[in-house]
Amino acid sequence: MTMTAHAAPGPAAAGPPGPLGAWVEAHAEPRRGDSAYRVLVNHRTGQIIELSDTEAGVCGQLNAGQAPDPSPDTEAFVAELREQGFLASDPPPPPRRAVQVSGARLDVRWTGAGRLVSTAYRRGARHLFRPAAVAVQVLLAVAGLAAVIAAITSPQHFALRVRPAQIPVVLGLSVAAVAVHELAHGLVVVHYRRAVDAAGIRLHLGTPAFYVESASAVLLTRRQRLLQAAAGVWAEWQFTSLAAVWLWLSPPPVAAPLLHRFVILNAATIASNLLPFTGLDGSWLLADATGMPDLTRRSRGAVTRLLTSLTTRTAARPADKALAAYSAANGLVAALLLATAGFFWYQLFGDLAGTLARRGPAGWIILAAAAAVLGRPAVAAAAARCPDAARTALELRDTIAFRLQWRWRIPAAAQLAAAHPELAGLTAAQLGILAGQLRRTRHHGRLPAALAGSYGIIRAGTVTVTTGTHRTAALGSGSTWGPACQLRDATRRAVLIHLRGAAIDQLRLAAAARPLR
C-alpha cells in the first residue's frame, strides 16, 4: 500500500502567507533517538510534507497569525506550502478526473476508490474486525499452514513452467490474491476512520498488480499502522489458505497442478513480502516496530554518507552505520527480487515468447512491441532516478578525491603560509580554507594568464618568471611564487600547485580577519 499520493502543485499567489487550510492536518509523534516525527497531510491532494522542528515552528506562527521570521529557508518553506496548496489563501486546484491513465507507467488510477472501500466496509467487511471473526481467521490461517506444508511435501509434481493456455488462470489467481491484499490495507484505514485517496492497477515486472493510496495512513497511531501494514499479508494468507485447504481436501483434477503451483509460489511471495526492506510490507512493520516511521527516507544515501565519513576520517554514529547497512541490504534484496521476478516471468511467458519467435517476422514484431510496452515503466523510473544517482556518485567521487588529495594540500598550504608574510598569520581554520582552494595542474610552454596574481608552488619542472623588479628568473621544484611574480613559460614536466584566481580576494579578506583568532 502506498501512503503518499503526489499531486500537481497549485498556482502560486502573491501576498503575505495566511494560516494552514482547513483541509490540512498536522501529526506529531515521538521518534526513536531523535526529535519528534512531524508531518503535514493535505487531504485534498494527498500530499505529505515531513517537517523539521524549525518548519513546525513556522506552521505554528502561520496558524497564530504571526509573520514568520524572515530568512531564505523560511521563505522557501512558505513558498512550498503555497505552491502545494497547504495555505488557506492558496487552496489547491479542483481535483482532476476520477480515472487517470499513465501510459509511461502503464498505470490506471481511480480517485473514487475510497467510496468503494467505505461501502464494502459498511456492507459487511466491518464484521471481519470482530473477535469471533478474527478467531475464525486464526483457525483458517493455521489450517492453511498445514495445507501449504502438505502441498510442499506431497508427491505431486510441481509444474513451474506454464503453458500459454494456462496463463489466464495463473494471472487470474495472482490478481485476485493481490486485490484481496490491497483491499485489506484499505479496510483497516477506513476502520480507523481515515480515508482512502485512490486505488489503481499497474503492470509490475510484467504482471498486473493492484495498489491503494492513503496519505491519511501516516496519521494513524503506531499500533494502528502496524496492523494496517500487516493486514495485507494477513488477508492474502487467508486467500492462499482457502486455496491450500481446498487442494488438500478435494483437489479438482483439472485445476490441481495450477492450484498446487499457486499455493506454493504465493506462500513464498507472502514470506518475501514480510522481508523488512523498502517496497515491501515488512519495511513498514520494521519502521514502526523500531519507532522510526521515516526509516525509508533516512536510509536513502546512508551508504554515501558512511563512505564520506570513512574517507574524511570523521566519526560515524552507530545509527549512521546501521542505516548504511540497512540501505546496502535494501539494494541487495531489490536486485535479488528483480532477478527472481525475471526468472518467474520467463517461466510464465517463456513458452508463449518461444511460440511467437517461431512465427517469423510477425512474431518478432509482437515480441518487440510487448518488450517496449512492458519495459517502458522500468525505463521511465530508471531515467527519473539517473540524475540523482549520477549527482550522488559525483559528490562521493569528489569527496574521496579531496580526501586523497589532502596529503599534498596540507603541506602545500603550510609552505605557502611560511613563504609569504601576509599569509603567516592565518588561523588553522583559514589555512584549511586555503588548502581546500588549492589546485594542481600540469603545464608546458606558455603559461595561462589565469595564473597572474596567484600564489603557488612548483612541485616539478622549471618555470620562468618575471619578478616585480623586472628580473627574469628560473624557479625549480619546491620554489614558491606570489602575486608580484609574472609566470611566463614552463617545461614539459612542470607541475604547479596554486590558488584559483577567484579565491585570491577571499584569501586576502581572511588574512585581514586575523583578530578572529
Tens-binned pLDDT, residue by residue, of the chain (517 aa)? 665 544 444 444 445 677 899 999 999 888 876 678 899 999 988 889 998 888 999 998 888 888 888 888 888 899 899 999 999 888 888 777 788 887 767 788 888 889 999 999 999 999 999 999 999 999 999 999 999 999 999 888 888 888 888 888 888 899 899 999 999 999 999 999 999 999 998 876 556 778 899 999 999 999 999 999 999 999 999 999 999 999 988 766 667 888 999 999 999 999 999 999 877 899 999 999 988 888 888 887 777 777 767 766 677 778 788 888 888 888 888 888 888 888 888 887 788 888 888 888 888 888 888 777 767 766 766 676 677 777 777 777 777 777 778 778 888 888 888 888 877 777 777 777 778 888 888 888 888 888 887 888 998 899 988 876 677 888 888 898 888 888 888 887 889 998 865 555 565 555 555 443 3
Give the residue extent of every domain in the chain. Answer: 1-95, 99-283, 424-516
CB 460 within 8 A of CB 440: no
pLDDT of residue 123: 94
pLDDT of residue 381: 64
Residue type for position 231: A
Please give the DSSP secondary-structure letter assigned to residue 98.
S
Please give the DSSP secondary-structure letter assigned to residue 220.
S
Q: CA-to-CA distance for 53 and 327, rounded, in angstroms?
A: 25
Residue type for position 495: V
Give the cell for residue 321: 552505520
Helix, coil or strand: residue 27: strand
Buried b (16+ CB within 10 A) or exposed e, 375-395: eebeeeeeeeeeeeeeeeeee
Residue reference for cell 494560516: 19
Distances (CA, A) of 199 to 3, 228, 238, 242, 474: 11, 16, 21, 25, 76
State how beta strands 198-204 and 207-213 pair: antiparallel
Q: State the DSSP string of 423-490.
A: GTT--HHHHHHHHHHEEEEEEEEEPPGGGTT--EEEEES-EEEE-TTS-EEEE-TT-EE-TT-EEEEE
State how beta strands 486-499 and 463-466 pair: antiparallel
Q: State the DSSP string of 150-162.
A: HHHHSSS----S-
pLDDT of residue 10: 43
C-alpha dihedral sign at 94, 99, 101, 106: positive
Please give the DSSP secondary-structure letter assigned to residue 340.
H
Give the cell for residue 481: 611564487
Residue reference for cell 517502458: 376
Q: State the DSSP string of 100-152.
A: EEETTTTEEEETTHHHHHHHHHHTTGGGGGSHHHHHHHHHHHHHHHHHHHHHH
pLDDT of residue 121: 95
Question: What is the crossing angle of helices 131-153 and 222-249, to 10°?
Answer: 50
Give the cell for residue 23: 483541509
Q: How far is CA 263 from the centre of its chain?
A: 33
Element (H, E) at 352: helix 318-357
pLDDT of residue 439: 86
pLDDT of residue 449: 82
For residue 455, the number of C-alpha atoms closer than 13 Å in the C-beta half-sphere is 24
CATH superfamily of 424-516: Jelly Rolls (2.60.120.10)
> What does pTM read for this prediction?
0.74
Backbone torsions φ then ψ of 387, nearest 5 degrees: -60, -45
pLDDT of residue 12: 42
Closest CA to 233 of 264, 190, 273: 273
Helix, coil or strand: residue 400: helix
Closest CA to 399 of 496, 300, 335, 310: 310
Helix residue spans in 250-301 (DSSP H): 256-273, 281-289, 295-299
